[in-house]
Structure 1
Amino acid sequence: MTRPGALRRILIGTLIGCVIAGLLALGIWQLQRRTWKLDLIQRTETMLRSPPVPAPPPSAWRAITTNDAYRPVTVIGRYRPDADSYTQAATALGGGFWVLTPLDTGRFTVLVNRGFVPSEQRGKVWAPTGTVTVTGLLRLSEPGGGFLRSNDPTEDRWYSRDVSAIAARRGLSDVAPYFIDAAATPGKAWPRGGLTVVSFRNNHLVYALTWFGLAALLAGMTWFVARPNKRA
């Protein structure tokens, strides 16, 4: 028959072993995440250097994934007049707004982020008329909001570039599930394109070392307490 003290030690030892195993598993998972993140960064950098391709048509919309984010694309169409949407922005030029304008390609409509404007330029940057060619980066929709605030379509207040919500607010149909960050236009003051920040946080190695360190610390403390011939 197992004594109560021995049983208690077995249960405590099992619990500590499970915790250490869990910490090690978290560390290994972070190393796997780091490998995935480094691969994502490399693929994105390679994609950014590639020539632009035609913007995905409706037949390809279902196949769009996060791997397509920041892909250089080009599209031809006409801007829809008086349909600009302004979303809150914080850039290297300061605070202001992104100007999103629907572009009718004849087959579908895509929202184009024509660039950044400071607050005093809001409502003063009309889209060009006639047929235009837009080159930029494919970006995925940003539903919900940003800056710790939710989008308010009824008040036409936008804190993120939520494609479906903006399209509904503007009464658009056949809208692509992505938007395009337009490239910079030489000699053009506002809106200022080409300000896309391509950045990925990669702290997975630090997190992995933290989990491994906690596992080692717990194992060391357990050995110190349970070591044989320990002094009182």
Structure 2
Amino acid sequence: MAEVAAASDASHIHGTMRRPLLIAVLAAVPVLLLLLFLGTWQVERLGWKNDLIARIAASEAAPAAPLAEPPEMLAKVRVSGRFDHAREGLLGLEVRGPVLGARLVTPLLREGAAPILVDRGWVPLERQHAVARPEGEVTVEGWVHPGDRPNLFSATDDPAGRRFYTFDPPAIGAALGLAEVAPFGLVALGPAGGSLPDPSRTLPRPTNNHLGYAITWYGLALSLLGVLAAFALRRKPA
């Protein structure tokens, strides 16, 4: 009888020790699966982002293509028309050295097509600086900007003063008195020449932090496994 009682006590002790481990495993499995899912998702995003950056670099290195309708966003294109300097506006704020400036946005009027808002480049807010305003037919090379939409953190535009803080072509076009405007914009590209406006030099590159995120999520998954292993060893009977 004593042997039976001892065996029963040992079985009860083992069961009591296994129960917390089982609870810990059941609680950890969903978290582990979520961490693995997030890590795998970031790896997939990494591949997509690397491909996007490579396509942007190839577009930047290639000659500008004629503007297609509808255009591919971030594509390097060229388009001809006539600037409507009487309707130009300023976009955002940008400090260069001690000088405060903004981006000069001017409608490009096209024959048989809606005007395009062109971000011609940076100009100082002080008006005594000479700004080039070519007349007649011009050809602009730049990258296609899909446009932005204001959010809760966006500064409020001043349509009457033609000061804008979000590059929203329909909203800017309406404020400039254009009956119709292309739903996208064009950011002019050009070399550094010392003249104003000072155009952009390169196409934008999106941030690419996905590798770091993937390492973080997979690292957390490994850490969780390590914690479970340590917990199981501590619960193991001597």
Q: Normalising by the residue count of structure 1, what TM-score does the alignment of the two structures yield?
A: 0.82
Match of 1:73 in 2: 77
Q: How does 1:142-161 map to 2 (within 5 A)?
A: 142-144=148-150, 148-155=153-160, 156-161=162-167
1:100 equivalenced with 2:105 (yes/no):
yes
Shift of 1:76: 1.4
C-alpha change, 1:4 and 1:165, in structure 2 (3 Å) is farther
Match of 2:86 in 1: 82
Alignment root-mean-square deviation, CA: 2.9
In 2: Cα distance, 1:32 partner to 1:167 partner? 38
The 10-residue stretch of structure 1 (166-175 or 221-230) with the greater mean CA deviation from structure 2? 221-230
Q: Does structure 1 retain, via aligned residues, the 8 Å contact 2:144–2:184?
A: yes
1:40 equivalenced with 2:45 (yes/no):
no
Q: Does structure 2 retain, via aligned residues, the 8 Å contact 1:138–1:178?
A: yes
Match of 2:204 in 1: 198
Shift of 1:82: 1.4
Q: Which amino acid aligns with 1:37?
A: K
In 2: Cα distance, 1:6 partner to 1:27 partner? 31
C-alpha change, 1:188 and 1:145, in structure 2 (3 Å) is farther
C-alpha change, 1:124 and 1:154, in structure 2 (3 Å) is same
Q: Which amino acid aligns with 2:63?
A: P
Q: Secondary structure at the match of 2:107?
A: strand
Report the number of matched residues.
221
Shift of 1:34: 0.5
Write the deviation string for residues 124-178 of structure 1: whole angstroms up to 9, x where unpaired.
Answer: 63632222221222222122169x4334244543123211110111121331121
Shift of 1:8: 6.1
Q: Does structure 2 retain, via aligned residues, the 8 Å contact 1:53–1:73?
A: yes
Q: Does structure 2 retain, via aligned residues, the 8 Å contact 1:97–1:116?
A: yes
Match of 1:131 in 2: 137
Shift of 1:188: 5.7
Write the deviation string for residues 47-70 of structure 1: whole angstroms up to 9, x where unpaired.
Answer: 1122222223xxx33xx4xxx333
Gaps of 5+ in 1: none
Q: Secondary structure at the match of 1:201?
A: coil
Q: How does 1:103-118 map to 2 (within 5 A)?
A: 103-107=108-112, 108-118=114-124
Q: Does structure 2 retain, via aligned residues, the 8 Å contact 1:145–1:159?
A: no
Q: Does structure 2 retain, via aligned residues, the 8 Å contact 1:151–1:157?
A: no
% identical equivalent positions = 32
In 2: Cα distance, 1:172 partner to 1:42 partner? 36
Gaps of 5+ in 2: 1-14
Q: Secondary structure at the match of 1:22?
A: helix
Q: Normalising by the residue count of structure 2, what TM-score does the alignment of the two structures yield?
A: 0.80
Match of 2:41 in 1: 29
In 1: Cα distance, 2:62 partner to 2:230 partner? 57
Match of 2:168 in 1: 162
Q: Which amino acid aligns with 2:89?
A: S
Q: Does structure 2 retain, via aligned residues, the 8 Å contact 1:79–1:103?
A: yes
Q: Which amino acid aligns with 2:82?
A: R
Q: Does structure 2 retain, via aligned residues, the 8 Å contact 1:103–1:110?
A: yes
Q: Secondary structure at the match of 2:86?
A: coil
The 10-residue stretch of structure 1 (125-134 or 200-209) with the greater mean CA deviation from structure 2? 125-134
Q: Which amino acid aligns with 2:111?
A: G
Q: Which amino acid aligns with 1:48?
A: E
